[in-house]
Amino acid sequence: MLIKNASLIITPSEVKKNQSILIEGNIIKKIGPSKGMDKTDEVIDASGFLVMPGLINAHTHLAMTLFRGYEDNLPLQKWLEKIFPVEDRLTEKHVYWGSMLGCLEMIKSGTTCFNDMYYFMDEVAKSVGKTGIRGCLTRAISSKGNWKKRLKTMTEKIKNIKNSSRIEWILGPHAIYTCSEELLVRIKELADNYNKKIHIHVSETEKELKDCLREHGKRPVEYLDDIGLMSNRTIAAHCCWLNDKEMDILSKRGVSVVHNPVSNMKLAAGIAPVVKMLEKSINVSLGTDGAASNNNLDMFEEMKTASLLQKISMKNSLALDAKTCLKMATINGAKALGINSGVIESGKKADLILINLKSPNLKPMHNPYSTIVYSCHGENVDTTIVDGKVLMKNRKTSLDEEKIYEKIEDCKAELF
């Protein structure tokens, strides 16, 4: 594939004008003048378009698209009390169609990879296979019920299922308040044995912090570090309630953090000290959380909100600039998930999006980074390419979108 005559190519550290991108298979082969790149199977003329790395949603619960708008305006614990009973009624069919809707929403808003923790993950994997997006998947494991059986099932998946070029299976203890120490230690041992990532909620609310201090005499990051769970394989979602000592632990252990500003604001969970974490060289990425607490999966909105939240909370308009936000949503997410993407350069996975610059909200462009973060939104995405394959062009996908919408209405009627 040849993407020729790109008006702008944007990476977190570089802007190029009027360049072309040659893709062989699922890898970016060359960037430069299109001369000598003509013999390709497919050509996309990117004149009038901005080409950038696909966005990476580093923390979500994909099938919670089914809960979009259900029981809004509640604090986290009361909200969970409303959500959990409905989740107990979920079936494989519900999770499949909820995941299909989520994949469609992400493809149409420029996300090329997501990190998911939910239930019936085989169904989520089917939706990934069907839609062509990239995903890191794990079943949310808690101490509720027969956790040993669920952990054994996840272990078999990790041992026996060969990862595709687009699916990676990882481990997902839900949180310290839903997992026993025995379960957390077992998961840590599995991650060590099979060199797998661990995706876990950490310090999302002040209540979680106070409960951990009362039950363990330690703060959440200290507790998890003492049992060996904090390492460069750990992906810690939220991290709103950290002190300096905890941030130093995260930095020392190489833990990646996922900031979810919209969800944190909506649930009044807290404000993550993102600027301070970045100053301490912690790899901070971005996520939307589930659509139930967001209420969308638009990573452009997440970038803008992340920047504005830090500015107002720190009373500093210079805090968390646009270029840093773009880095969090691309290359930092790729580092957190361990995937070879997040930047447009030779040898990287061909996960790219094209933004239509002929849009009123993108004119005029004084600074492309500011335009992407503060002005752009998902509907400005014209083309989405994942693993070297076009999933959307001219805002059209090959998916039966009407069928997805119909199935979602059926699921809503059954669940609610």
Q: Between the CA of residue 160 and those of 126, 234, 393, 410, what are the distances in Å? A: 17, 22, 36, 34
Strands 14-24 and 27-32: antiparallel
Domains and CATH numbers, the chain: 2-53+349-397 (2.30.40.10), 55-337 (3.20.20.140)
In sequence order, the β-bridge partners of residue 21 are: 3, 31
Please say if the pLDDT value at position 163 is more than 70.
no
Residue (of 263, 269, 329) closest to 291 by Cα position: 263
Q: Which long-range contacts (CB under 8 A, 24 or more apart) does 389-397 make?
A: 389/26, 389/132, 390/1, 390/42, 390/44, 391/107, 391/131, 391/132, 391/133, 392/107, 392/108, 393/44, 395/108, 397/104, 397/107, 397/108
Give the residue carrying structure tokens 């099938």: 63
- With residue 57 as reference, give the H or E element that holds it: strand 55-60
Dihedral of the CA atoms 152, 153, 159, 162 (nearest 10)? -170
pLDDT tens digits for range 247-276: 999 999 999 999 999 999 999 999 999 999
* pTM, 2 dp: 0.97
What does the pLDDT look like over 76-135, one tens digit per residue? 788 889 998 999 999 999 999 999 999 999 999 999 999 999 999 999 999 999 999 999
Dihedral sign (CA 189, 203, 166, 281): negative
Average pLDDT over residues 214-239: 97
Q: What sign does the dihedral 225-227-233-237 (CA atoms) show?
A: negative
